[in-house]
Structure 1
Amino acid sequence: MLLAVDAGNTNVVFAVHDGSEWRGSWRIATRADRTSDEYAVWLLALLQYSGLKPAEIDRCVIGTVVPAALYNLRRLAREWFDVEPLVARATVDWGFEIRVDRPQEVGADRLLNSLASHHHYKGPLVVIDFGTATTFDVVDADGAYLGGVIAPGINLSLEALHKAAARLPRIGIGRPQAVIGRDTVAAMQSGIYWGYVGLIEGIVGRIQAEHDAHLKVVATGGLAPLFAEGTTVIETIDPDITLEGLRLLAERNPAPTLVKSTPRDPV
């Protein structure tokens, strides 16, 4: 079985695939100083609850945009599952070209989303990921990664608005009943929701104009269904696209040789 680890800025998602289907997925808050033993205590209990055994894990793949978290995630794979993890980075075999100026700077999540989206939906396409940042990634008809757009995430924008304006409260995101807010909270919700709908439609429209061809639009992330209600631009919602990218990347690349961890192992 494959253990896939998606370490984002907000959460780390662990999921197990048995070769046919995902058997379970679990998330924990991202903390760069969390040790491999802390991960193990939490994850092993969840595996047992799901009827899975650590000995059944024979592959591991890690994608992370938090470099400081990689060391202990690697130790987790080596010490508790006795496997060397494949790490998603620009130098592995993606099966497509990365047509940007500095491929090593592209976040692993963006490449993983592109890999899985092209595999499942073909191209050309745009992948929108509603995460800590809201990203738009463009994939050509042949699967090549062409670059994209990075904008502040919705929750990040809400927090910044609350902290920068003394009289504005901290609010949750939701689709307002009307564009014109009749009180402060409704006005803030409208600005965030319809403002981001405008962002989505505007950026996708400009990408379409530059590409000179129709691009399918795939969205992922927890807020994707909410924003899909407000626009016809989003054609497909796929909540597991990053995990699928990890699974496909593991299929394309050989399993690395196990390296036993020591306290002085480099990342």
Structure 2
Amino acid sequence: MNCYIDAGNSRIKGRLARRSEPFVVHWPDPAEPDAIGTLATRLEPLLVDDKGRSPRQFVLGSVVEPTRREWLETALAEICPEATRRWLSVPAKCCHVRVAYPEPARLGVDRFCAMIEARARIDTGPLAVIDAGTAVTLDVLDASGQHRGGLILPGLQAQIQGLRVTVPGLGDALAGLMTEGAPSDHSADVVPEATRRLGLAVDTTTALDLGRHWLLAAGINEMLAVWREALAEEGELIAVIAGGDAERLAALIDPSMDVRRE
């Protein structure tokens, strides 16, 4: 039995070959004195069933720094000592996708896998593949499967974390945005509807929240418009979007675009 793991910057997502539902585990806090033990404790009940069966092979993709990669490697070795662990790397071409990077291995494996999955699901026409995670990535594939390149933007939480560090005076206003959920609409009674429609706020927390959404909307929609026109002769550009903030980001994309949530 194989286990497929995507170790992202915020969470570890995985799926066992014999199960239909994926699992999600959060990374331990960097200050955790026994981060490997904590991670193993979180993973073990998801990997070993009540009959003692566990994966024989782990197939892993990750762009995290070496420290957390080592945590995961060690935790899996403790839980399943006889299982092999195969870390994916990015080749120049695979599964009808050809990488644009001069050095393909420098492309994030998460972006590469997202392009392969999108091309497998939609096998004709050009695609814009968007992963709305800690970082928001957008990669364009033409109809032939040639990767035209991509861009990386700070995600919704990354923007808030960045402001927390660089503009500490915003601390109180940022507090309501420091979780994955949406902020409380404490200003609902004082914000005119016309102002809401235009994307302006009358309190700092809401201004920050609107700003981070508009920043992503502007960047993503501008790039989609450019490539929609550039590849028009190959067919209608389809945007394929996934990731933890996919639903919120999809709502910001130009409604004239064909958007597929995955």
* TM-score, normalised via structure 1 length: 0.75
Aligned length: 234
Code of the aligned partner of 2:260: T
Matched, 1:219 2:241: yes
- Superposition deviation, residue 166 in structure 1: 4.8
Q: Paired residue for 1:180, among 191, 200, 208?
A: 200
SS at match of 2:220: helix
Give the Cα–Cα distance (whole angstroms) in 2 for the partners of residues 61 and 159 of structure 1.
31
User: Is contact 1:8-1:64 (8 Å) kept?
Assistant: yes
- Superposition deviation, residue 154 in structure 1: 1.8
Change (3 A) 1:207 1:54: farther
Change (3 A) 1:36 1:14: farther
Matched, 1:107 2:131: no
Matched, 1:201 2:250: no
- Superposition deviation, residue 27 in structure 1: 1.4
User: Is contact 1:12-1:30 (8 Å) kept?
Assistant: no
Change (3 A) 1:210 1:92: closer
Matched ranges for 1:116-131 at <5 A:
116-122=117-123, 123-131=125-133
- Superposition deviation, residue 223 in structure 1: 1.2
Q: Which residue of 2 aligns with 1:59?
A: 57
- Superposition deviation, residue 143 in structure 1: 3.0
User: Is contact 2:92-2:99 (8 Å) kept?
Assistant: no
User: Is contact 2:2-2:55 (8 Å) kept?
Assistant: yes
Give the Cα–Cα distance (whole angstroms) in 2 for the partners of residues 16 and 222 of structure 1.
20
User: Is contact 1:174-1:193 (8 Å) kept?
Assistant: no
Q: Paired residue for 2:139, among 133, 137, 161?
A: 137
Q: Give the superposed CA RMSD.
A: 2.9
Q: Which residue of 1 aligns with 2:260?
A: 236
SS at match of 2:84: coil
Give the Cα–Cα distance (whole angstroms) in 2 for the partners of residues 35 and 174 of structure 1.
29
Give the Cα–Cα distance (whole angstroms) in 2 for the partners of residues 230 and 72 of structure 1.
36
- Superposition deviation, residue 62 in structure 1: 0.4
SS at match of 1:85: strand
Code of the aligned partner of 1:200: I
SS at match of 1:113: helix
The worse-fitting range, judged by mean Cα deviation, of 68-77 and 55-64 is: 68-77
Instruction: Specify every segment of 5 or more residues in structure 1 that has no aligned partner in the other structure, as ranges.
Output: 239-267
User: Is contact 1:74-1:84 (8 Å) kept?
Assistant: no
Code of the aligned partner of 1:235: V
* TM-score, normalised via structure 2 length: 0.76
Change (3 A) 1:127 1:37: same
Q: Which residue of 1 aligns with 2:23?
A: 25
**Which structure has the higher relative contact order (CA within 8 Å, separation 6+)?**
1
Give the Cα–Cα distance (whole angstroms) in 2 for the partners of residues 53 and 234 of structure 1.
46
User: Is contact 1:129-1:135 (8 Å) kept?
Assistant: yes
Of all paired residues, the percent bearing the same amino acid is: 23
Q: Which residue of 2 aligns with 1:265?
A: none
Code of the aligned partner of 1:46: L
Code of the aligned partner of 2:129: V
- Superposition deviation, residue 194 in structure 1: 2.4
- Superposition deviation, residue 83 in structure 1: 2.0
Change (3 A) 1:166 1:38: closer
Instruction: Specify every segment of 5 or more residues in structure 2 that has no aligned partner in the other structure, as ranges.
Output: 186-195
Change (3 A) 1:190 1:211: same
Q: Which residue of 2 aligns with 1:147?
A: 149
Matched, 1:80 2:82: no
User: Is contact 2:132-2:249 (8 Å) kept?
Assistant: no
Give the Cα–Cα distance (whole angstroms) in 1 for the partners of residues 93 and 214 of structure 2.
39
Change (3 A) 1:53 1:92: farther
Q: Which residue of 1 aligns with 2:192?
A: none
Give the Cα–Cα distance (whole angstroms) in 1 for the partners of residues 212 and 122 of structure 2.
30
